[in-house]
Structure 1
Amino acid sequence: MTGNRTSVDPVLTLPVEITSEFFYQCLPTSCSDREWNTPDPREAPMLLLHVCKAWREIAISTSVLWSKMEFSMHNNHGADLWRTWLTRAEGRVLFIKLHRWIPEEDEDEDSESEQEMTGTPLSTFLMLVHCAERIQSLELSTITINTLEKLAQASRGTCNFLSLEKLTVGLSPEDPSYDQWPMPGESTTDPVIALTNSPLLHEVSLVKTPPSVLSLPWHQITTFTGTRLLCGDCLEVLQLSSNLTECAVATGRIRADDVVKLTHSHLTSLTLFTEDGYGSADLLESLTLPALQTLHILDADDFDENELNIFLSRSSPPLRKFVLRENTLTSLASETFQLMPSLTELEVWNPQYSVIPEFFRNLGGDPKFLPRLQHLAFVNSVYFSGILGDTQRGLKSRWDMRHDPMPVAQLQSFRLTWKKVVVLEADALLPFRALIAEGLDISIESTNGD
């Protein structure tokens, strides 16, 4: 066909609002490999700038595309890009993640003009302070204490982070000043106070960062995550955060001078996990948590069942969910479960040979044993002759107790997985199928899904 008419891509005939929504749906989410927008030209939003002129104009004018940003600050190029994104985000609420900072020795202390300072931590923080009231989430990672102190210099004291709800600060593993920082309870240098005026802040994460580095409104924090912290640092956070309800920490072993015995009346969820060699359950020795409802102990090499029992006896918490995952075989006696009368959900990893038979004898024979249990899982169990019989008899007896004059809670789900592939007789699972037919959700499999 010939003629003077110019073909127009049908996409370009759409209203700008619809095209902008399409662009927004191209952004990464928490379900994708990464959650933050980066300046990678192969991914949205930067990719949208290189399709055609029309798309570029729409993308630049769609402020929501530029409001959630992750930048490396190790050179001037990253700082320049960040400045551009802030301009494009206009009046949007901001989600900012900045990492890999320029080493202090690369800064020119005599530089005074804004152009000369571009890319330095001070110039970056000056931009941060300028948009502080719009920041809802802020992450400063792989940063040194000296660099972080530039924030105080940029803000000239406190600053109004009126929209800030979530804060993450992670010191660089190479920062030598961390090891020189005063231990918990000792006198310290002045903390960075720039973030003190954050009336909506309720979630804080610290990575290898003592809480004394920052002056925060700790009394309003409800969720805390601490990674690679000293045990004393975690205790300090719990002391400062009287309204904390959720806490997840990877800490070192307790030290002789961590003598604090702390009762926290509001904490309902505690997770002890492991990362980079930090992963101790010693924190339980110092705590009394009368409101605790959820407890996860994950891969703690020093887990001690006796210390757990002492903690449970001391706290008498209304514990509803307990997850225990050890790298080695897990041994739990019935005495431990007797201290959890309110438990509704139990998950035990790598149980020792003796754990399952004893557990199901108690479950099926004693209505006072975990009377509210509804969800039960044994993960990575060792297969042994008789395990299915012990399990089925215990489940069946507990299942039938729901009709007793003083009924226990009705089981809703049961999961059992083995470490290795197990070949079963054709009729080995028939008794479980009968329970499934009556309404119990049962999953029995090897760890490879067979």
Structure 2
Amino acid sequence: MQTVNSNVDFSPVPDIVGALQTILARSQVIIPIDLDTPYAKFPNTDHSAIELKDQSISAIITERQQQLDAVLHDISGLQIVMDNINNLRQQLVKKKDKITQSMNLHKGLVSALWRFPTEVLSHIFERCLPEFDEWLPPLNQQAPMLLSQVCRRWRGIAVGTSNLWCRLCMGNLWQRVPSCCDSWLKRSQGRPLSLALHPSHINHLDELRSLLQPYINQISSLSIGFCCSDCLPEVVIADFPALQELTISMDNPIPAVTPFISQLPFTLRSLKVTQLSLNLEDLSLFNPVWARLTNVEIDICQPNAFPQLLHLCPDLSSLTIAVEFRGTQVLEPFTHTKLQSLCISDSFNTDTTALSGLFNALSLPNLRALEARYVQQWPHEGLKAFLTRSNCPLESLVFGAGVRTTDEQRAEYVALIPSLQVVVDSNRGCFA
């Protein structure tokens, strides 16, 4: 009888198939389909009939044992064949991947993409960068890391394209593998850097400074979060003398971060504050900073804080502001001559009177772009008075999510400024 030897290597496909066919054929011959006997019917009390039969019960048991041994042997042999099939499949999958990789490589050699100049591929790679998320570390499945894994030429181009390595969320990577962050920052080749730091980094300031020290004069944009007064960076911002843009997210009351604010460098031109609504008193704590800012994104909770902010920022050209007005106030007229872009969103369902009072007090003679979001009670008459009084060269008026206006109202705005483009887009966010 032919058996399956566990020491035999069934690596070729025909050997494995042959062994499997042998097992199947032998199993059908050795094991009959019908295993019934005259003694298998119970109850059976005719003992004399049992004794007269040619085939004794002991002979049947012996036969069944032989059949069982044969089945167990075939099960063992089949398991060996199955293991070899799995091993063979893994080998074939690896061969398939290598063949596919080689084929794709040679296809690439004759493709137009392969013949692109390095400068063109560099530009394409820059277009592949995902939107910068301040709190998500880089992923291997995204550019620029993904681009460096395609082939040797692409890796060389990606590593040599400094613009691909100018943005980095530090995450916890710098603590686990600081050499990775260092390599990333080196590839920026001296270009301005945008970094995001988590609150947890504040507990490791000395290590962080050591890592960033060689690149300290490159860091022009920084995002950082404060979750409690205990984790405020007493000198962290002062370490970045070339900082131009700062985003701070905080749950703290403003007085708790006053020492931090006082250290903001004189190079700062853009400030974004999130998760905190400021009042008139809070604005005064930023006094050393406002005068040199040209771009601000902030939340305010008092109507009189709006003109005061404009007063504190004489060079401001772009303002994105969320209002949380909890009452109405009489505002003194105020004119700001440099503001060109204004985005207003309402996060407190401010009533029409408060916003109308705001528009009635302001004059923005250089305004070119105005956007509104989530203002459910739109002050139509107040905006018309504002546009008439400002006599501004407004080019774009955008009504975003949550703002309801009629065709007639929008036509009145165009009548005031014939060159005005009015856009209604419920999915649109504020411009930068």
Q: 2:249 pairs with 171, 175, 183, which one?
A: 171
Report the equivalent of 1:68.
167
| 1:40 CA displacement | 0.7
Let me know the Cα RMSD of the aligned residues.
4.8
Deviation string 1:303-330 (CA, Å, 9 cap, x unpaired) is: 2223334434554444444334573652
Q: How does 1:111-260 map to 2 (within 5 A)?
A: 120-121=204-205, 123-124=207-208, 127-128=211-212, 130-136=214-220, 138-144=221-227, 146=229, 149-150=232-233, 152-154=234-236, 157=238, 159-161=240-242, 164-165=243-244, 167-172=245-250, 175=251, 177=252, 180-181=253-254, 189-198=258-267, 201-208=268-275, 218-226=290-298, 228-231=299-302, 234-253=306-325, 255=327
| 1:57 CA displacement | 6.4
Seen in structure 2, the aligned counterparts of structure 1 residues 125 and 259 have a Cα distance that, compared at 3 Å, is farther
Q: Given that residues 318 and 340 in structure 1 are in contact (C-alpha distance below 8 angstroms), is that contact kept between their aligned partners in structure 2?
A: no
Deviation string 1:106-138 (CA, Å, 9 cap, x unpaired) is: x3xxxxxxxxxxxx35543565565232234x1
1:84 aligns to 2:183 (yes or no) = yes
Deviation string 1:68-92 (CA, Å, 9 cap, x unpaired) is: 323335983386643332233342x
| 1:285 CA displacement | 5.0
Q: How does 1:40-439 map to 2 (within 5 A)?
A: 40-50=139-149, 59-60=158-159, 63-73=162-172, 76-77=175-176, 81-91=180-190, 93-102=191-200, 107=203, 120-121=204-205, 123-124=207-208, 127-128=211-212, 130-136=214-220, 138-144=221-227, 146=229, 149-150=232-233, 152-154=234-236, 157=238, 159-161=240-242, 164-165=243-244, 167-172=245-250, 175=251, 177=252, 180-181=253-254, 189-198=258-267, 201-208=268-275, 218-226=290-298, 228-231=299-302, 234-253=306-325, 255=327, 261-273=333-345, 282=355, 283-284=358-359, 286-312=361-387, 314-324=389-399, 327=402, 329-331=404-406, 337=412, 341-347=416-422, 349=424
| 1:239 CA displacement | 1.9
Q: 1:22 pairs with 121, 126, 136, which one?
A: 121
Q: Given that residues 324 and 347 in structure 2 are in contact (C-alpha distance below 8 angstroms), is that contact kept between their aligned partners in structure 1?
A: no
Q: Given that residues 309 and 336 in structure 1 are in contact (C-alpha distance below 8 angstroms), is that contact kept between their aligned partners in structure 2?
A: no
Report the equivalent of 2:65.
none
Q: Which amino acid aligns with 2:241?
A: N
Q: Given that residues 193 and 214 in structure 1 are in contact (C-alpha distance below 8 angstroms), is that contact kept between their aligned partners in structure 2?
A: yes
Structure 1 alignment gaps of length 5 or more = 1-6, 108-119, 350-378, 381-450
| 1:250 CA displacement | 2.2
Deviation string 1:132-153 (CA, Å, 9 cap, x unpaired) is: 32234x1314444748841x42
Secondary structure at the residue paired with 1:26? helix
Secondary structure at the residue paired with 1:221? coil
Report the equivalent of 1:407.
none
Secondary structure at the residue paired with 2:343? strand
Structure 2 alignment gaps of length 5 or more = 1-101, 427-432
Q: Given that residues 223 and 247 in structure 2 are in contact (C-alpha distance below 8 angstroms), is that contact kept between their aligned partners in structure 1?
A: yes
Q: Which amino acid aligns with 1:303?
A: W
Distance in 2 between residues matched to 1:149 and 1:212, nearest whole Å:
20
Deviation string 1:30-55 (CA, Å, 9 cap, x unpaired) is: xx652479521122322345456776
Q: Which has the larger Rg?
A: 2
Report the equivalent of 1:392.
none
Secondary structure at the residue paired with 1:72? coil
Q: Which amino acid aligns with 1:171?
A: S
Seen in structure 2, the aligned counterparts of structure 1 residues 205 and 170 have a Cα distance that, compared at 3 Å, is same
Distance in 2 between residues matched to 1:334 and 1:62, nearest whole Å:
50
| Percent identity over paired residues | 20
Distance in 2 between residues matched to 1:277 and 1:265, nearest whole Å:
29
Report the equivalent of 1:386.
none
Q: Given that residues 248 and 274 in structure 2 are in contact (C-alpha distance below 8 angstroms), is that contact kept between their aligned partners in structure 1?
A: yes
Secondary structure at the residue paired with 1:208? strand
Instruction: Give the TM-score taking structure 2 as reference length.
Output: 0.54
Q: Given that residues 265 and 289 in structure 1 are in contact (C-alpha distance below 8 angstroms), is that contact kept between their aligned partners in structure 2?
A: yes
Report the equivalent of 2:430.
none
Deviation string 1:179-219 (CA, Å, 9 cap, x unpaired) is: x335xxxx983352443231xx5444332355667676543
Seen in structure 2, the aligned counterparts of structure 1 residues 300 and 123 have a Cα distance that, compared at 3 Å, is farther
Seen in structure 2, the aligned counterparts of structure 1 residues 82 and 229 have a Cα distance that, compared at 3 Å, is farther
| 1:341 CA displacement | 3.1
Seen in structure 2, the aligned counterparts of structure 1 residues 318 and 59 have a Cα distance that, compared at 3 Å, is closer
More helix by percentage: 2
Deviation string 1:233-282 (CA, Å, 9 cap, x unpaired) is: 55443222212223222221254579565321222332213569799973
Q: Which amino acid aligns with 1:124?
A: L
| 1:296 CA displacement | 2.4
| 1:96 CA displacement | 1.4
| 1:97 CA displacement | 3.3
Seen in structure 2, the aligned counterparts of structure 1 residues 273 and 160 have a Cα distance that, compared at 3 Å, is same
Secondary structure at the residue paired with 1:46? coil
| 1:169 CA displacement | 0.9
| 1:28 CA displacement | 4.9
Q: Which amino acid aligns with 2:272?
A: S
Secondary structure at the residue paired with 1:133? coil
Seen in structure 2, the aligned counterparts of structure 1 residues 66 and 285 have a Cα distance that, compared at 3 Å, is same
Q: Which amino acid aligns with 1:65?
A: L
Q: Given that residues 218 and 240 in structure 1 are in contact (C-alpha distance below 8 angstroms), is that contact kept between their aligned partners in structure 2?
A: yes
Corresponding residue pairs, total: 310
